Amino acid sequence: MQIACVVWPDRAEAVRRLRAWEACLDALEGFSSIVEAEAPGVAYVDITSLAPHYPDVETLAQVLVRTSYAAAKTLPSVGVAASAFAARIAAEGLSPGEVAVWPVGAERERLASLSVRRLPLDDETLDSLWRAGLRTLDEVGRLPATVIASTFGPTLWRAQRLARGESLRPLRPRQVILRESSRQTFETPVYDTLRLRALGAIQVRDLADRLRRRGLRCARLRLTGELITQDVWQSSRLLTDPSAASAVLTQHADEALTEWPVALGVLAVTIALDTAPQVQTRETVLKFRAAGDRRE
């Protein structure tokens, strides 16, 4: 798993500008349907399936920086690692606009020298670790299980896994969305709007067919373009009729692409068809047989 942590330089600004922060999250969901918002100014993006579509992870991280800036006019830092905690630590050590990618498997080594006070624990627990002579995440990661159980209790089990750079759980997206998406790259940048619209129409029809074969209906069309200027351009269309045929989706995409600054040169287009948000809770019904009911 690869997780990108997008961090605004000023969290208070994210609180003041909640609409801008929501716009940032919505823009990130143009790339990945799994975006978890921890707090205003801090979000995690599952980029595991995205990374193979880019020359390297650093390039993808830079695209996320530009995407966030285009949506909210705030330049974030982005850290990438195999766990959310490690990705956040990587991002928080950067200046706005910078990216850092930690190699998979190197998380524990990168975290080792950091203070235990970087762990998301209450002050009382952190003070007890400090009094016990534990100063770094490496020292916490090396604690024997018997010491944790007898001295610190279950609270430290989770902290120890974080100190080792391990993931505790999958990301929890803001809303569970089923999606069909694809990214189309061009060896030669596309400068002609008619050509881009024709290529986009083929892409939309293919995605609509895939969605239909899964028995799903499109509720939202998302288009993300990466320009030769390194800018990111996004368009989104909500569908009032989720049963709309692929011809209607193609028309929406065509209208959106007409508004794009294609003359600047388009390097890649990502199109996603989202279904309506799914309910995360599942109801369980238990049926009990009456004592006198002996039906076979």
pLDDT tens string 102-137: 999 999 999 999 999 999 888 888 888 888 888 999
| Strands (DSSP E) found in 31-178 | 35-39, 42-46, 77-81, 99-101
Task: Collect all residues with Cβ–Cβ distance below 8 Å to 113 and sequence separation of at least 6.
Answer: 136, 137, 138
Mean pLDDT on 77-99: 96
> How many helices and strands in the chain, by DSSP H and E?
11, 9
3-state secondary structure of 43: strand
User: Residues of CATH 3.30.1490.100 domain(s) within the chain?
Assistant: 179-274
Task: Collect all residues with Cβ–Cβ distance below 8 Å to 254 and sequence separation of at least 6.
Answer: 197, 200, 201
Q: Provide the pLDDT confidence category of residue 63 given band limits of 50, 70 and 90.
A: very high
Contact status, residue 111 vs residue 195, Cβ threshold 8 Å: no
More confident residue, 212 or 262: 262
d(C-alpha 72, C-alpha 232), whole Å: 12
Q: How many CB atoms neighbour CB 188 within 10 A?
A: 7
Specify the CATH number for 1-174; select among 3.30.70.270, 3.40.50.150, 2.40.128.690, 1.10.490.20.
3.30.70.270
Is pLDDT of 168 > 60?
Answer: yes
Using the CB atoms, write b or e for 225-253: b if 16+ within 10 Å: bbbeeeebbbbbeebeeeebebebbbebb
User: Residues of CATH 3.30.70.270 domain(s) within the chain?
Assistant: 1-174
Mind listing the pLDDT tens digit for each residue in 44-55? 999 999 989 999
3-state secondary structure of 221: strand
Mean pLDDT on 153-166: 85
Percent of the chain topping pLDDT 70: 92
CA atoms within 13 A on the CB side of 94: 24
3-state secondary structure of 166: coil
Contact status, residue 272 vs residue 181, Cβ threshold 8 Å: yes
Is pLDDT of 284 > 70?
Answer: no
The first and second tokens of residue 108, run together, are 């524990």
What's this model's pTM, rounded to 2 decimal places?
0.84
d(C-alpha 64, C-alpha 21), whole Å: 14
Q: How many CB atoms neighbour CB 10 within 10 A?
A: 12
Task: Collect all residues with Cβ–Cβ distance below 8 Å to 187 and sequence separation of at least 6.
Answer: none
Q: What is the per-residue pLDDT for 290?
A: 46
Q: What is the per-residue pLDDT for 244?
A: 66
Q: What is the per-residue pLDDT for 253?
A: 94
**How far from the centroid of its chain's Cα atoms is residue 74's Cα?**
18
Is pLDDT of 95 > 80?
Answer: yes
The angle formed by the CA atoms of residues 278, 283 and 284, to the nearest 5 degrees, is 145
Residue 235 φ/ψ, nearest 5 degrees: -135, 150
The angle formed by the CA atoms of residues 184, 186 and 191, to the nearest 5 degrees, is 115
Mind listing the pLDDT tens digit for each residue in 203-251? 999 999 998 888 888 889 999 999 999 999 999 998 877 666 788 899 9
Specify the CATH number for 179-274; select among 3.30.1490.100, 3.40.50.1820, 3.40.50.150, 3.40.50.1950.
3.30.1490.100
Q: Provide the pLDDT confidence category of residue 93 given band limits of 50, 70 and 90.
A: confident
Task: Collect all residues with Cβ–Cβ distance below 8 Å to 82 and sequence separation of at least 6.
Answer: 1, 2, 3, 102, 104, 105, 107, 165, 167
